[in-house]
């Protein structure tokens, strides 16, 4: 079975706004081609579906900012900002490059408006850590709601990034995947 499956807004009831397919990310340049699509390992999809189901009765929806990230993309991000507090060293490999991690936030399901999370996605600052109280109370509640939804759905979290969730034991269970795994390149030409 092919390990990666597409995640779409219509099929999975999520919003997709891949930050690395636009210049709206910490590199200020697109890393992926605009048509890269959102992909997850088939084993991760049931966990995503469960999180969506838990968010729905609360009037919330998940907005995916990144999912599968080719190993080559991890190198590009690392070359730009080699910060092991916020980026996995590509020699070890990211759980994103295994297709079993998501970067996401919460939005109001009715309006589509993003909830205040206290910092932006990929804000490389201690204010991005879980459990920070130096952000507005509403943002603390929103982070805790996301944490609760994701962990109740079976995801593990990374303490330094409120937006990052991954499958448990991902590095031991899943291999790194390169840009060619999908047959079409996702990376912007060098």
Which positions are catalytic? Answer: 161
Question: What Rg value do the Cα atoms of the chain yield, rounded?
Answer: 15
Closest to 126 (Cα-Cα) out of 83, 161, 157, 82: 161
DSSP 108-149: ETTT-PBPP-SS-TT--SGGGSTT--SS-HHHHHHHHHHHHH
Distance of CA 57 to the CA centre of its chain: 22
Distance of CA 133 to the CA centre of its chain: 23
* Residue matched to tokens 């130096």: 134
Token digits for 26? 């910490």
Token digits for 53? 């189901």
CA distance 76 to 88: 12
Q: What are phi and psi of 141, to 5 degrees?
A: -60, -45
By three-state DSSP, how is residue 182 classified? helix
């Amino acid at each position: 079975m092919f390990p990666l499956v597409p995640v779409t807004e219509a099929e999975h009831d999520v919003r997709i706004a891949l930050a690395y397919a636009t210049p709206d990310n910490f590199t200020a340049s697109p890393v992926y081609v605009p048509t890269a699509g959102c992909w997850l390992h088939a084993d991760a999809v049931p966990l995503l579906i469960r999180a969506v189901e838990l968010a729905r009765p609360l009037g919330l929806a998940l907005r995916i900012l990144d999912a599968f990230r080719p190993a080559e993309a991890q190198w590009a991000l690392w070359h730009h900002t080699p910060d092991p507090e916020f980026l996995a060293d590509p020699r070890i490999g990211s759980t994103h490059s295994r297709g079993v991690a998501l970067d996401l936030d919460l939005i109001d399901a009715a309006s589509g408006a993003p909830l205040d999370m206290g910092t932006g996605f990929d804000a490389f600052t201690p204010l991005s850590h879980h459990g920070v109280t130096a952000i507005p109370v509403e943002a603390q509640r929103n982070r805790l709601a996301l944490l609760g939804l994701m962990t109740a759905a079976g995801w593990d979290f990374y303490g330094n990034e409120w937006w990052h969730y991954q499958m448990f034991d991902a590095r031991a269970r899943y291999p790194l995947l390169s840009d060619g795994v999908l047959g079409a390149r996702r990376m912007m030409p060098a």
